A and B are shown apart, each in its own frame.
Chain A
Amino acid sequence: MLTLLTYDHSLDGFFTAVFEVYEYKFENPWIRKEGLPEPALFGGLHRVITDAKKAERVINKLKMLLGENGLRMIVYGLLTEEEHCEKPILDVIRYAIAHPQKKVLADMTNLSVLKLERYNKQVNREKHRMEAFVRFRLIADSVFVAEIEPDFNVMPIIAKHFRQRYQDQKWMIFDRKRHYGLYYDLQSVELVSINHQQSLDKLSNLASDEAFYSDLWRIYFDKTSIASRKNSRLHVQHVPKRYWKYLTEKNFF
């Protein structure tokens, strides 16, 4: 009998669900994000209440079985936010638990492993893109601010990169799609959300020499291209149009 387990979209929620799959010995479990339209055929519905302790136990077990890398692959898979991503991920987890001696993530003949690989490629690429395409502008409050709209929920996994790189300036990166961001105050990085129009307005109040440097960057972008080698197809392949909105070099004010 198929049992539908729903969770609250959080990583801990998913890992709690995995814990409960084993706790209640569901034979045919199907983990899904809550709030999605219910499928036509299922036997029972089990609402998972996120429990950090249960989640942690699953995480530790996975670390043991699959290593840091393997755990990361699973987290990246979940960050795709894809509607059905839980299925191959749960498959891989069950495969690993059933065969503790096997390096299951190397089993390229297993379709769920391959799917997880695909997810990782996609999320990794988006992570790298965001690390590349974030464009800060300096606002009057002496904070470097950037906005992004990534395809996947990569904010949690880009924090470390920016934390390491920009230690002596305050910065903020805001995900306009998911309405939350990272803020570094010279001490530590925190998750923030901005709801007031007032605060949003502040973000567009630029420092006095901001326009000068963004102009210089546009000049540079223009001059470093070689007209006789122009290749728009290649250009757009590397910098897909959906990212242009927040790229300084693509926006002339």
Chain B
Amino acid sequence: MNFDRVKEKLSILADAAKYDVSCSSSGSKRKNKGKGLGDSSGMGICHSYTTDGRCISLLKILLTNVCIYDCAYCVTRRSNDIKRAAFTVQEVVDLTINFYRRNYIEGLFLSSGIFKDADTTMERLVTVAKKLRVEENFNGYIHLKSIPGASDELMKEAGLYADRLSINLELPTTEGLKLLAPEKDRQQMLQPMAAVKNEIALYQDERKKFKHLPSYAPAGQSTQMIIGATPETDLQLIQTADFFYKSYSMKRVYYSAYIPVAQDARLPSLQSQVPLLRENRLYQADWLMRFYGFKADEILEGKQPFLALDMDPKLAWALRNLDFFPLNLQTADLEAILRIPGVGLKSAWKIIEGRKFGKLSISHLQKMGVAVNRAKHFIDFGTSTFLNKNVLHQQNIKSIILSQSVSKFQAHYSPQLSLF
């Protein structure tokens, strides 16, 4: 192996892959049976964190950054004047195995520029996964990118070796796509997604009958949308996410704040700020939909299609729905308790368990991990502790809560932005 050449390839192809924010390695049940290498039956581990604080769980690389397309938001686009490189199948296999053996990673996340047609590209990705599974007896996690326009047959094969398959929508609306990636069409993206979805459903049925059937993409599908490259509202983003969770049984939708990579009249300028706070709020909203029982149209209503930046969407909902509160913790049901700002999934369960032993006080809540400063405004303690909502209207609660908390994003919305 030419060491220096491999190092150079890795620099180029890791750099080009970093904009894909997904790094999940959980949700698979692949076990190490009989002296193989690796196991993905657990939770998925972040082995390190990037200097921007994101989880490093997988070796995330492109097979090649040669691409025949010219999507405006992408560094790999055809018209961009950058160094191009391509790994061989064996090089990717060696890297994955050797990183895995050293406990650097949970597995591989392999994506690629579309270097020829869709099927040729997809086939090459599948070959890597197949080699890892069949020749190396590798049971670590494999996430493959589905290539828009790849045939159903290839997608069927991909799922036999991969734990997860994903295809990035990137732009939530067809208009956005037309503007920035005119050569791509939405249908080409949906087709492999649908193939995988159907295959997963089929396998789930079959497995009920035949226990030993191999699994098919056990960690399901995910997708990613870019935030802030096009003028879509948060409401549109959330509704799109909701649609894909429901209609395509997506496991995850990722939001990626657009990082300017091109000087292009259709895009925010190279100097524009990365909308990290907005990205963060969208994740919070997504979380509320998936785990807290919120509906898309509860999080945002038509009149105000953007998420508030100065507070999280759960607090925003609570302030819009003060009539729902105060709640009596001794009697409220789980769904209601989950709506209290400052109460998380775990602490909600602890409240349900703990209240069987007696009346819960503020100090109990504190020990259960509730953010009491926030939550106390929405809880009925039976005495005067609850600050009467006639006296304390929306604006007051908001300013009290916000004055007590320090946000890591404060600088982004503080009116006193310093100019120098």
Closest to A215 in B: B7
| B101 contacts A217, C-beta separation under 8 Å | no
B144 → chain A, closest Cβ, in Å? 18
Asked if B264 lies at the interface with its beta carbon under 8 angstroms from chain A, I say no
CB-defined interface of B309-327 with A at 8 Å, one 1/0 digit per residue? 0000000000000000000
Complex contact A229–B259 (CB within 8 A): yes
> Chain B residues in contact with chain A, CB under 8 A?
3, 6-7, 10-11, 14-15, 17-19, 32, 34-39, 42, 45-56, 59-60, 95, 98-99, 101-104, 137, 257, 259, 274, 276, 350, 353-354, 356-358, 360, 364, 367-368, 408
Q: Is the CB of B46 within 8 A of A132?
A: yes
A242 within 8 A of B: no
A136 at the interface (CB under 8 A from B): yes
Q: How far is the CA of A213 from the CA of B360 in the complex (A)?
A: 54
B56 pairs with A248, CB closer than 8 A: no
Cβ-defined contact, B32 with A165, below 8 A = yes
Partner pick for A234 among B14, B15, B53, B95, CB 8 A cutoff: B53
Tell me whether chain A's interface is mostly helix, strand or loop, or mixed.
helix
Output the least CB separation between A124 and chain B (Å). 11
B-chain residues with CB within 8 Å of residue A131 when the two chains form the complex: 45
Do the beta carbons of B354 and A247 come within 8 Å of each other?
no
User: Given contacts A231-B52, A233-B408, are A213 and B15 in contact (CB under 8 A)?
Assistant: no
> Which residues of chain B are within 8 angstroms of A8 by Cβ–Cβ distance?
none
**A221 CB within 8 Å of chain B:** yes
Q: How far is the CA of A230 from the CA of B276 in the complex (A)?
A: 11
Task: State the 4 A-B residue pairs at the shortest beta-carbon distance, nearest first.
Answer: A234-B53, A108-B354, A229-B52, A225-B50
Q: In the complex where A221-B48, A234-B53, A247-B48 touch, is A213 in contact with B102 (Cβ < 8 A)?
A: yes
Of A47-55, A73-81, A166-174, the one touching chain B: A166-174
Question: A52 CA to B350 CA in the complex, in Å?
Answer: 36
Structural contact, B14 and A168, CB atoms closer than 8 A: no
A128 on the B face (CB < 8 A): yes
CB neighbours of A169 from chain B (8 A): 37, 101
A248 to B39, CA, bound (A): 22
Bitwise, A145-186 to B at CB < 8 A (1) or not (0) is 010000000000000010011111100000000000000000
Bound-complex Cα distance A2 to B50 (A): 53
Q: Which residues of B contact A128 (CB under 8 A)?
A: 45
Cβ-defined partner of B42 (8 Å) among A138, A144, A161: A161
Contacts of A212 in B (CB 8 A): 3
Whether a CB of chain B sits under 8 angstroms from the CB of A241 is no
| CB-defined contacts of A237 to chain B, threshold 8 Å | 53
